[in-house]
Every structure is written in structure tokens, then in C-alpha cells.
Amino acid sequence: MSTAVEAAVFAELHDSPVGRLWFAFAGDGELLELRLPAPGRRCRDSGRRPRGAPAKRAIRAWIDAYFAGGSAPFPGPWRMPGGSPFFRKVYQEVHRIPAGRTLTYGEVAARCGSPGASRAVGNAMARNPMPLVVPCHRVLASAGMGGFGGGLEMKAELLAGECAEA
């Protein structure tokens, strides 16, 4: 289990167009992790909603807005992930990619001051605990889609939905 999940005091599931999303929050209400649906993954609601966490209806509205165009900011506090300074830079850069736009792993690496570190960017994307908030689906390989924790079909679906609105 990741440190974020161990620090979580509250978690809940929400339906979305791509399946059930799982949100885990810290005691101060900050979002720590957002999990996409995956075969065989079991997530459940747990704990009591902490003060400072967005209301269930606010998360529902965010999901609806996000999937209507991909640009809605998360409605509550969230903790920028990243175990290393480089990963934090990567996640900050990826968080800034607007809906309907993409960058390659190499472009993200260059924007983070580390040209040639495209594999390290790929590693950061593979470990991203907050897809959609830190939209790793907007980062592509130079020769195509690259990978995605939710599967390439979901990555293509997310990008197609954003490009239709952009």
C-alpha cells in the first residue's frame, strides 16, 4: 500500500463514465489519492468524512463537469503527490496541461529542467496517485499513446472526450 492510503482516514466511491472512482482523504480533508477502476481492484467506502473534505455532491458535480470537458478543478484541497523533488516537478507540470492538450514524456522532462529524462517522467506517470487531478492521460510517448494505469482504451476515451470539448 502507498503512504497516501495509509494516511487516509476517509474513502468513498463515486460512479463516473469510466467506472467507479475511489477517493481517499486525509484527516484534514485533503485528497490523497484517486483510483481509477481496474479489473480485480477492490475499493470500498470507509471512515467518516473529515472536516475540510468536499461534500459528496461537490465531488459528484466535479466528476460530471470533468467528464463534460476535462477542465474542472477539484472542488477541495488536495495534496500534490511526489516522493522525490523530480516527481513533484513532473506532477506540477502535468497538472498544468490544459484539457484537450497533450505533451510527450520528453516535453514534460524538458519543462522540468531534465531533458532526456523521459523514462523518469514515465515512471512518475505510472506512480501517479491522482489521475484526473494530475492528468497523466495527457502525457504521450513520442511514438504514440504510451501507457496508462486505467488501460489504453480508457486513456483514448479520456483524451477523445477532452478534444471534443476543446
Average pLDDT over residues 143-155: 83
Fold of 85-165: Arc Repressor Mutant, subunit A (1.10.10)
**Of 43, 112, 136, 163, catalytic:** 136
Instruction: Please tell me the pTM assigned to this model.
Output: 0.87
Determine the pLDDT at residue 7. Answer: 76
Domain with CATH 1.10.10.10 in the chain: 85-165
* C-alpha cell at position 87: 516527481
Determine the pLDDT at residue 1. Answer: 39
Give the whole-angstrom CA distance, residue 67 versus residue 84. 30
Active site residue 136: yes
* C-alpha cell at position 82: 511526489
Give the whole-angstrom CA distance, residue 166 versus residue 159. 10
| Alpha helices in the chain, H assignment, sequence order | 3-7, 56-69, 85-95, 105-111, 118-126, 152-165
Average pLDDT over residues 141-159: 85
14-71 confidence digits (pLDDT tens) = 999 999 999 999 999 999 999 998 777 778 888 899 999 999 999 999 999 998 886 7
Determine the pLDDT at residue 70. Answer: 67
pLDDT higher than threshold 80 for residue 163: no
